[in-house]
Structure 1
Amino acid sequence: QLIEIWKEVLFNEHIGIKHNFFDVGGHSLRATTLVSKIHKQMNVNVTVRDVFQYQTVEQMAEFITSIKGETYLSIPAAPRRTYYPVSSTQKRMYILSQVEGGELSYNMPSAMIVEGELDAARVEEAFRNLIQRHESLRTSFEMIQGEPVQHIHSEVAFSIEKIQAEKEEIDTHIDRFVRPFNLQEAPLLRVGLIEIRKDYHVLLFDIHHIISDGVSTNLIIKEFIQLYEGELQPPLQIQYKDYAVWQHSEMQSERMRRQEAYWLNMFDGEIPALELPIDYERPSVRNYEGDIVEFTIDKQISDGLKEIEKQTGATLYMVLLAAYTTLLAKYSGQEDIIVGTPIAGRAHADLEPIIGMFVNTLAIRNYPEGDKTFYTYVQEVKETMLNAYENQEYPFEELVQKVNIKRDMSRNPLFDTMFVLQN
């Protein structure tokens, strides 16, 4: 049974009992998926730290036989009502979406080139079926008695935007396609189809982050293709609203109290603000201006990173985070650095097939002091991340409310930079 779970998580049918999880495509995100599936299918609560310690099926099976079982509890369906609470992440996102200058900050646009003939009517029908299947795609948001809530509509009007254009006009049409959403009007999803030729299209897709995340985007694409090809989908056991209600009730549990204690201890006392050297005065309020710098890491550096991974037992993410925080320390002259990092937030196996906003933000505090060797520091970062993974379900929004930080409209609370390794 265990080896079948490994095959499913690693998308690899050739897993043997002596294969190392991290050598055959495993990483921290898949480790979280692995432990949630083991809990659901085997009623044993293994942690991400255990995956790092018992890295083969053989070692893990031996470990599992030595520990006490723990019954898997499914997320219950919420009682029917007109309005449902938003999740903690949605609440913060709703508020920030209303800030002037942040209207497009939470759009998640993407574009795909489709070669070969495409039936626009079937594309539209597939998306309509997808919207009907997932309540999050039929959800709008309102403010009631000072609190944001979500309202699920039984039906919503939806049609794709059809555009005929020349190839050189594609960028112009993409720019026009991405525009602000009104959170009070569902669906918070747009689909466009640019026809260049009968056998060459660009499929445009934009969705508000309040109802979606990176994992959800992959789910939408996968299920759209299946629905377009006429495949039937298995019924969903729960919807996003059920998760939101469950999350609220879980905040009172002993498990969440333990996680809260971990984070409050991490940020006890004075909390540093990152002071990078800047060439102009920081604006009094964040204005959301920015730019993108793209570069490629050459093979020699890439091979060096893999070698550090091997020698330290850390993941590529951990090695890169150690390098990034070391760089920030050199620029700022500070040796107490906090960096934000997103985590998928799907630690419960029931959430795997659900489209919605599950991402939590972890505030990671490290100490890149000058007298440490880089290898020693990587080990410290690894330990910090393993602790963070064990406490990943505590909402960042709750932490912000409970720690002692000076409010500054020109800064993000707790950290000013984020580090993301996109799988």
Structure 2
Amino acid sequence: YEPPQGEIETALARLWAELLGLERVGRHDHFFELGGHSLLAVRLLSRLSQALGVELPLRTLFAKPVLADLAASIVEELSRTGPQHLPAMVGGAREAPLVLSFAQQRLWFLAQLDETSTTYHMPLAWRLRGVLDRSAWQRSLDRVLARHEALRSIFVASQGKPRVEVLPPDAGLPVIEHDLQGMPDADEALLDLCQEEARTPFALARGPLIRGRLIRLSDEEHVFLLTQHHIVSDGWSLGVLGRELSQLYRAFEAGQDDPLPPLAIQYPDYAAWQRRWLSGERLSNQAQYWRNTLSGAPARLALPTDRPRPAQQSFAGASVPVVIDADLTRGLRRLSRQHGTTLFMTVLAAWAAVLSRLSGQDDIVIGVPTANRGRREIEELIGFFVNTLALRLDLSGEPSVAELLERTRRTALAAQEHQDLPFEQVVEIVQPPRRLDHTPVFQVMLAWQNNAAPAFDLPGLSVEAAADGFDQVKFDLELNLGEHGEAIAGTLGYATALFDQATIERQRGYLLALLRAMVADARQAVGRIGLLPAAERAYLLEELNRTAAAYPSEKCIHELFEAQVAKAPEAVAVVC
């Protein structure tokens, strides 16, 4: 350890420590080895702009991940351009009517196509064990609703043009109560309630677009179901929700007042800022990047399916668990450090290679959600900020593992540097062929879960996730992974209209086999890595080719034909 030197290194070390949750950072420390990842990198660069007035591209951090080296790049940039500060997001007076964010506008449009759809529901289920103060719990829920205008937003339209209206702060979060204590079939009734709750549509024009159910199983055991529409919330918001509910419940249960500081801005302020900020040259540059990047991309990934694709996309889904054990995860971390990638980029490269082998295509587009929370002002807001990046990966020319990792790193960094343009605008710019049987631009997603699940700290209560019975997907395949201690774990979701569970389990095996091979030798060609387990290989190459069969070999073919005619003279012989 060597302490930071000079004003820039000291300021940079302070930002690293804050973002990475560390007590101290030295000048020789490596951002990614300390636990940094792509999302934290984006947040760091935003804070550098606000604190030091310097705008650095993401690739600079990946090229100079050591604190002293990055500080030197900042000094060089400041001496060349001087301080450059991003315009601040501010609350206050708003133009009427309130506008939707770009992301909200797309979801609103999709909701008009099917007003009964539950595809964009966010269902949560928590089992609460202990003595629940129901009054303090309801009061906490009501306060979270009052605190965040996003949760009180409704979406009304006149002449086909939507606008936002905000329900009053005292609207109250609706909670339906059920009492199942003493029922002989309580578990079955609980599952029915979970499924009923998740599949009950919201009315976007009436709201509120968040609701709950409190299910009593005994005096000291409850299940709480909370459902939000994605148009007012996202994955990051769940962490905010868990922290605020914990603080509020703890205070109200002890007879204290609301302990949360007031919010400086609200989601409608962000939506208005987004439309002002993403305009002019900035909008033109980002639009041109995506136009060039996705020009000529394949409209659909031709994966082999177990059933023909239905004429209209079905969102019914299921999932299988995916676990990358601690030993393989350590190998992947080592491989990532050697090639300047994050774990996400390394797994993305492997997933693209598997999809390429399955489809026979070397031009693969994978959707990747990004938190879009680079600005400090919006870190504590509940709302729909998440964006989606369409990453186009090139597997042509028989690249080695190392070459594919380099291509993937370049692709991911370039996309993240142009992540401000909402995906809905990317679709409008690219103008892909539109059909109801598949999603535009990409049909496979990889979601890397950097956000921890909602963590509760409730006095006298233990909280754990409960089954929610929600079985829908938005894409053909959805690989959801994240770091869990020393391992990587998650799920591989799939559209049940297209795939059987056994097929998805084989695909999971291919991914794990490819990852193990990548760790073993980064010089080998990706396309030559064997993916099939021994049993499947033997089945395909040997069992299916055992075509020998007993037949009357002493007769000629015309004699066999004549014998069949005599046996079944009325049967059809040939249809042309």
Letter in 2 for 1:305: L
Shift in Å at residue 73 of structure 1? 1.6
The counterpart of 1:66, out of the listed 69, 76, 81, is: 76
Are 1:101 and 1:288, in contact at CA under 8 Å, matched by a contact in 2? no
Letter in 2 for 1:299: A
Which deviates more, 116-125 or 42-51? 42-51
- Structure 2 CA distance for aligned equivalents of residues 378 and 413 of structure 1: 26
Please give the TM-score of this superposition, normalised by the length of structure 1.
0.94
- Structure 2 CA distance for aligned equivalents of residues 201 and 24 of structure 1: 40
Partner in structure 2 of residue 385 of structure 1: 412
- Structure 1 CA distance for aligned equivalents of residues 176 and 62 of structure 2: 47
- Structure 1 residues 253 and 233 mapped into 2: Cα distance closer, same or farther (>3 Å)? farther
- Structure 1 CA distance for aligned equivalents of residues 114 and 149 of structure 2: 29
- Structure 2 CA distance for aligned equivalents of residues 238 and 291 of structure 1: 39
Partner in structure 2 of residue 323 of structure 1: 350
Shift in Å at residue 175 of structure 1? 2.0
- Structure 2 CA distance for aligned equivalents of residues 404 and 240 of structure 1: 29
1:243-262, aligned counterparts within 5 Å? 243-262=270-289
Say which SS state the counterpart of residue 103 (structure 2) adopts. helix
Letter in 2 for 1:6: W
The counterpart of 2:139, out of the listed 118, 122, 125, is: 125
Letter in 2 for 1:118: L
Letter in 1 for 2:158: I
Q: Deviations over 1:338-363 (max 9, x none)?
A: 11111111232222121110111111
- Structure 2 CA distance for aligned equivalents of residues 398 and 338 of structure 1: 17
Shift in Å at residue 62 of structure 1? 2.4
- Structure 1 CA distance for aligned equivalents of residues 147 and 280 of structure 2: 31
Shift in Å at residue 272 of structure 1? 4.2
Which deviates more, 306-315 or 318-327? 306-315
- Structure 1 residues 12 and 334 mapped into 2: Cα distance closer, same or farther (>3 Å)? same
Partner in structure 1 of residue 179 of structure 2: 164
Partner in structure 1 of residue 59 of structure 2: 49
Are 2:297 and 2:363, in contact at CA under 8 Å, matched by a contact in 1? no
- Structure 2 CA distance for aligned equivalents of residues 19 and 388 of structure 1: 27
Q: Deviations over 1:321-340 (max 9, x none)?
A: 10111111101111111111
Which deviates more, 172-181 or 31-40? 172-181
Whether 1:15 aligns to 2:25 is yes
- Structure 2 CA distance for aligned equivalents of residues 250 and 367 of structure 1: 32
- Structure 2 CA distance for aligned equivalents of residues 371 and 158 of structure 1: 56
Aligned residues: 423
Whether 1:365 aligns to 2:392 is yes
Shift in Å at residue 226 of structure 1? 1.1
Are 2:103 and 2:385, in contact at CA under 8 Å, matched by a contact in 1? yes
Q: Deviations over 1:192-242 (max 9, x none)?
A: 222333333323211110000011111011111111122522221211111
Partner in structure 2 of residue 332 of structure 1: 359
1:104-143, aligned counterparts within 5 Å? 104-143=118-157
The counterpart of 2:41, out of the listed 26, 31, 40, is: 31
- Structure 1 CA distance for aligned equivalents of residues 213 and 297 of structure 2: 49
Are 2:123 and 2:226, in contact at CA under 8 Å, matched by a contact in 1? yes
Partner in structure 2 of residue 210 of structure 1: 231
Which deviates more, 160-169 or 370-379? 160-169
Q: Deviations over 1:97-123 (max 9, x none)?
A: 233497111111112233332211111
- Structure 2 CA distance for aligned equivalents of residues 14 and 33 of structure 1: 19
Shift in Å at residue 296 of structure 1? 1.9
Which deviates more, 215-224 or 169-178? 169-178
Question: What stretches of structure 1 move > 6 A for 4+ residues in a row?
Answer: none
Say which SS state the counterpart of residue 389 (structure 2) adopts. strand
Partner in structure 2 of residue 238 of structure 1: 265
- Structure 2 CA distance for aligned equivalents of residues 36 and 80 of structure 1: 25
Partner in structure 2 of residue 3 of structure 1: 13
Are 1:213 and 1:358, in contact at CA under 8 Å, matched by a contact in 2? yes
Say which SS state the counterpart of residue 50 (structure 1) adopts. helix
- Structure 2 CA distance for aligned equivalents of residues 187 and 266 of structure 1: 39
Letter in 1 for 2:176: E
The counterpart of 2:215, out of the listed 151, 169, 194, is: 194
Q: Deviations over 1:243-268 (max 9, x none)?
A: 11122222323222211111111122
- Structure 1 CA distance for aligned equivalents of residues 70 and 147 of structure 2: 37
Q: Deviations over 1:337-391 (max 9, x none)?
A: 1111111112322221211101111111011125110111011100111111110
Letter in 1 for 2:25: I
Shift in Å at residue 270 of structure 1? 5.5
- Structure 2 CA distance for aligned equivalents of residues 272 and 328 of structure 1: 15
Partner in structure 1 of residue 201 of structure 2: 180
Identity of aligned residues (%): 33
- Structure 2 CA distance for aligned equivalents of residues 127 and 61 of structure 1: 44
- Structure 1 CA distance for aligned equivalents of residues 275 and 424 of structure 2: 13
The two structures, once aligned, show a CA RMSD in angstroms of 2.0
- Structure 2 CA distance for aligned equivalents of residues 279 and 176 of structure 1: 29
Shift in Å at residue 302 of structure 1? 2.2
Shift in Å at residue 41 of structure 1? 2.3
Which deviates more, 364-373 or 335-344? 364-373
Say which SS state the counterpart of residue 293 (structure 1) adopts. strand
User: What residue ranges of structure 1 are gaps of 5+ in the alignment?
Assistant: none
The counterpart of 1:285, out of the listed 287, 312, 320, is: 312
Are 1:96 and 1:102, in contact at CA under 8 Å, matched by a contact in 2? no
Which deviates more, 391-400 or 51-60? 51-60
- Structure 2 CA distance for aligned equivalents of residues 312 and 102 of structure 1: 47
Whether 1:99 aligns to 2:120 is no
- Structure 2 CA distance for aligned equivalents of residues 101 and 64 of structure 1: 50
- Structure 2 CA distance for aligned equivalents of residues 102 and 285 of structure 1: 16
Shift in Å at residue 78 of structure 1? 6.2
- Structure 2 CA distance for aligned equivalents of residues 191 and 4 of structure 1: 40
Are 2:125 and 2:224, in contact at CA under 8 Å, matched by a contact in 1? yes
User: What residue ranges of structure 2 are gaps of 5+ in the alignment?
Assistant: 1-10, 252-257, 451-576
Are 1:347 and 1:393, in contact at CA under 8 Å, matched by a contact in 2? no
- Structure 1 CA distance for aligned equivalents of residues 191 and 67 of structure 2: 48
Letter in 2 for 1:165: L
Are 1:259 and 1:391, in contact at CA under 8 Å, matched by a contact in 2? yes
Shift in Å at residue 83 of structure 1? 3.0
Which deviates more, 90-99 or 216-225? 90-99
- Structure 2 CA distance for aligned equivalents of residues 320 and 29 of structure 1: 16
- Structure 2 CA distance for aligned equivalents of residues 101 and 136 of structure 1: 20
- Structure 1 residues 332 and 159 mapped into 2: Cα distance closer, same or farther (>3 Å)? closer
Say which SS state the counterpart of residue 261 (structure 2) adopts. coil
The counterpart of 1:406, out of the listed 426, 433, 437, is: 433
Shift in Å at residue 33 of structure 1? 1.3
Say which SS state the counterpart of residue 283 (structure 1) adopts. coil
Are 1:342 and 1:362, in contact at CA under 8 Å, matched by a contact in 2? yes
